[in-house]
Amino acid sequence: DAGVIQSPRHEVTEMGQEVTLRCKPISGHDYLFWYRQTMMRGLELLIYFNNNVPIDDSGMPEDRFSAKMPNASFSTLKIQPSEPRDSAVYFCASSFTLTSGEQYFGPGTRLTVT
Amino acid sequence: AQSVAQPEDQVNVAEGNPLTVKCTYSVSGNPYLFWYVQYPNRGLQFLLKYITGDNLVKGSYGFEAEFNKSQTSFHLKKPSALVSDSALYFCAVRSKGGSYIPTFGRGTSLIVHP
C-alpha cells in the first residue's frame, strides 16, 4: 500500500485566498483524521470522519475551515479565506479502527499564507 | 480529560549510549499509551503501544517503553542510540473507557551525536 497520500506537499498563498488540501487514506481504513501542527500549539486534531461521516469537528478553529469526505478514498480540508495565522503543517491520518489506537499519517502539507 | 506531558523539549545523547525520552500522562481509568516518531519533512510513524499485559513494550527500530502505573509514566528507551534515531518523538494517551481519540504530547527532539 502506498500509505496515506496528501497533496500538495507545499502550498504558498496570499491572505484572503481559498486553499484546498487533499488526502487519500489507506484503502480499507474507516477513520480519517485531519491535524494541524505548529510550533506554538503542537499537534491539534481538527476533525475526524468515520465511514465518510464527520464525527467530531470541535477542533476546527473557525468557520473559515471546512472538511468533506465525499467517498472512502478522498477527503478535502478547505480554508476560505486564508489568513497568515493558518500557516502550519496539515496532516491527514487514517486508521482501521479507533480501539487499536494506531493512526497512519501522511507526509503533510506545509501551508504558508503571506 | 486526558493529557500528556513530555517534560524535555530536547534530549541529546552520544551514539552508542542508552537513550530515554520521558512521558507522563493523566487519564481517567486505564490508559492506552503510544509512541510515534517524526522524521524531518515526514508524517508521524507509529513506534509502539501499551494496551495491557507486560509493562515493558517492544516496538520498531529497537525501541521499547516501560509503563509505570504508579508514576503514570511511559518512558521511551533504547539501549544503544544511532545517529539515524535523531527525530521528533511524540507520546500519546487515550482512556480505555472514554474518548477513542488520543491526545498527543508536544514532542521531544532527540539528537544523537556521532
- Tens of pLDDT, residue by residue over A48-85, are 999 999 999 999 988 999 999 999 999 999 999 999 99
Closest partner residue to A108 among B43, B45, B102, by Cβ? B43
What beta strand segments (E) does B6-107 contain? 10-14, 19-21, 24-26, 31-38, 44-50, 56-58, 64-68, 73-78, 87-95, 103-104
Determine which of B33, B35, B46, B50 to mutate to test the interface with A (most A C-beta atoms within 10 Å): B46
CB contact under 8 A, A104 and B41: no
Q: Which residue from B minimizes the CA distance to A92?
A: B43
Percent with pLDDT over 70 in chain B: 98
Q: Which of B18, B3, B21 is nearest to B87 (CA)?
A: B21
- Closest alpha carbon within chain B to A46: B101
Q: Which percentage of chain B shows pLDDT scores above 90?
A: 79
A103 to chain B: nearest residue by CA? B46
Angle at B74 between CA B43 and CA B44, to 5 degrees: 0
Chain A positions in Cβ-Cβ contact with residue B92 (cut-off 8 Å): 101
- The grid coordinates of residue B40 equal 524531518
Q: Is B8 helix (H, G, I), strand (E, B) or coil?
A: coil
Answer whether B46 sits within 8 Å of A103, measured CB to CB. yes
The three cell numbers of residue A11 are 502550498
Instruction: Give B59-72 pLDDT, tens digit per residue.
Output: 999 999 999 999 99
What does the alpha-carbon distance between residue A23 and residue A76 come to, in Å, rounded to a whole number?
6
Q: Distance between CA B12 and CA B108 in Å, rounded?
A: 10
Chain A residue numbers with beta carbons less than 8 Å from the beta carbon of B104 are 42-43
Sorted by sequence, the CB contacts under 8 Å of residue B35 that are 6+ apart come out as B23, B47, B48, B49, B59, B63, B65, B74, B76, B89, B90, B91, B92
Nine-digit cell string for B43: 508524517
Q: pLDDT confidence of A5, banded at 50, 70, 90?
A: very high
Pick from B36, B43, B92: CB nearest A107: B43
Instruction: Give the pLDDT score at A1.
Output: 63
CA distance B26 to chain A (A): 17
* Yes or no, beta carbons of B43 and A43 under 8 Å apart: no
